[in-house]
Structure 1
Amino acid sequence: MADFVLRQPRSVLSDAVAVIARQVDVSQPTVIRFCRSLGFEGLQDFKLKLASGLTGTLPIRHSQVRHSDGLPDLSAKVLDNTTSAILRLRDSLNMAAIDAAIALLRDARRIELYGVGNSGVVAQDGQHKFFRFGVPCVAFADTHLQRLSARTLQAGDVVIAISSSGRVTDLLEAVSLAQGAGASVIAITSSASPLAKRADVTIAVDHGEDSARFVSMLSRIMHLLVIDILTVSLSLHRPDAAALDDEYSAQISHVS
């Protein structure tokens, strides 16, 4: 049984006890006894622990969707690609950059989020989360408004610029205007992009999507996750955050 788990761990995760027993050529009680001999309550408990141990060893891959794919294959590829991208982000995330970004956001007088197109949706999500900390916060998806607002910023203000490519000319101009006014800029973007080089702090999110031909999906999800990491981390550094969040939740419940 132990040899089978080592050879085919994913079969153990997905198969029923009867199937596992048949493949190993043992009885079903033997499978259960094996799990209990290792200190688990049974097969399901063993599967949960096994799955958590395998998470870090999932293969990083990107499967191309084809016209011939049926709905089950298409769904599996989308989910597998997303899972792989998240694991890649987890392993490559620069903790020093996260820490530097938190230091800026912790003392921010005002937070503005800039994003264009798909990244504008992420900026809106960030606004929804950051304003709970009691700091003036606004998101701009219009590049003209980004430039106008950037000119009004001051020292102590923070701009979070979000871009999959990091090469949007108008966004780069808005970032430069914000820095010229004294604000700090945190970029969530590709590590080799002009935006990454221009920002005060860059949280690099690299991916294999061809954003020139396809709508960005993986980068959007990874950018949302970075926003989540920042907001959760910031909540630990602001003792008033929990109270503000409770008040917000109560207001939402009242409206509902």
Structure 2
Amino acid sequence: METFLPMVSHDLLDRIRHRLDELNRSERKVADVILADPGAATSMSIASLAHAASVSEPTVNRFCRSFDAKGYPDFKIKLAQSLAGGTPYVSQAVEPGDSAEGYTSKIFGATIAALDLARRETDSARVERVVDYLTQAKQLHFFGLGASGAVAQDAQHKFFRFNIPVSAYIDVLMQRMVAAACHTGDVVVVLSYTGRTASWSTSPPRPAPMAPSCWVSPTRTRHWPTSAPRSWRSAPRKTPSTTCR
């Protein structure tokens, strides 16, 4: 039994920030100009924005369409709506020339924006289901690699308090072995911010076919590799039982 917890924002500024790594070099320049001053971008002509980003006007149009806009005018409307929607903080990159006051403000602003986004995008029904899984688990395993490995280890320390056998694995080979040995009632929490961890792309941990353990996969977007188990890549169509046993 599995569930999937995506964090997908419908706010345009949030979507632009979250997709920065996916954009090509020219589109990234457009995104940087917009994120640097979203308010000013709403009043720019397409020629002005293209000049500010040192790209061509067709590149700006292509960028706009990649965010579900019909064209640049429609994109500006969506951007204005995003600003009017009350996004209180805009995440900005720390620059080499920033003062201590400047980069401190940016870091706190980015943190507050991330927390606010998580609050607005949290699916309470899914959270409730996951809590049911965790509280009824016979054993908990947290999987993570890289930065997510530290999160997995921190979760292990915190869940010790609930008197449930809990472990954390940050090595992909150990994850595969533990996954294959899971039994009914076990819960595995697979942690990945992007859902595109390279070590899981070719041979991800998989549960044993005859052991109906519960797998929970919190991630920012639906970017699990195609080789990952189907349950990692999409939410179940039917609401699963609230028990893992």
TM range (shorter): 0.5 to 0.7
Partner SS for 2:206:
helix
Query: Aligned equivalents of 1:134 and 1:119: distance in 2?
Result: 23
Of 199, 209, 229, the residue aligned with 2:232 is 199
1:81-129 Cα shifts (integer Å, max 9, x gaps): 1111110110111111101101111110100000001000000110011
Would the aligned equivalents of 2:159 and 2:166 in 1 still touch at CA under 8 Å?
A: yes
Name the structure with the higher helix share. 1
Shift of residue 143, structure 1, vs aligned partner: 0.6
User: Partner residue of 2:58?
Assistant: none
User: Are 1:111 and 2:144 an aligned pair?
Assistant: no
User: Partner residue of 2:219?
Assistant: 189
Query: Aligned equivalents of 1:102 and 1:201: distance in 2?
Result: 19
Q: Normalising by the residue count of structure 2, what TM-score does the alignment of the two structures yield? A: 0.54
Amino acid corresponding to residue 145 of structure 1 in structure 2: M
Amino acid corresponding to residue 140 of structure 1 in structure 2: Y
Q: What RMSD in Å do the two structures reach over aligned CA positions?
A: 2.5
User: Partner residue of 1:143?
Assistant: 172
Shift of residue 167, structure 1, vs aligned partner: 1.9
User: Partner residue of 1:87?
Assistant: 116
Partner SS for 1:199:
helix
Query: Aligned equivalents of 2:184 and 2:102: distance in 1?
Result: 51
Shift of residue 170, structure 1, vs aligned partner: 4.0
Amino acid corresponding to residue 67 of structure 1 in structure 2: P
Of 58, 64, 77, the residue aligned with 2:106 is 77
Deviates further, 85-94 or 193-202:
193-202
Q: 1:179 to 1:126 in 2, by over 3 A?
A: farther
User: Partner residue of 1:49?
Assistant: none
Counterpart mapping for 1:219-238 below 5 A: none
Q: Normalising by the residue count of structure 1, what TM-score does the alignment of the two structures yield? A: 0.52
Counterpart mapping for 1:9-48 below 5 A: none
Gaps of 5+ in 2: 1-84, 236-245
- Percent identical pairs in the alignment equals 29
Would the aligned equivalents of 2:180 and 2:206 in 1 still touch at CA under 8 Å?
A: no
Query: Aligned equivalents of 2:204 and 2:183: distance in 1?
Result: 14
How many positions carry a matched residue from both structures?
Answer: 147
Of 62, 86, 94, the residue aligned with 2:91 is 62
Gaps of 5+ in 1: 1-55, 203-256
Shift of residue 193, structure 1, vs aligned partner: 1.9
Counterpart mapping for 1:149-228 below 5 A: 149-168=178-197, 170-171=199-200, 173-177=203-207, 181-194=211-224, 198-199=231-232
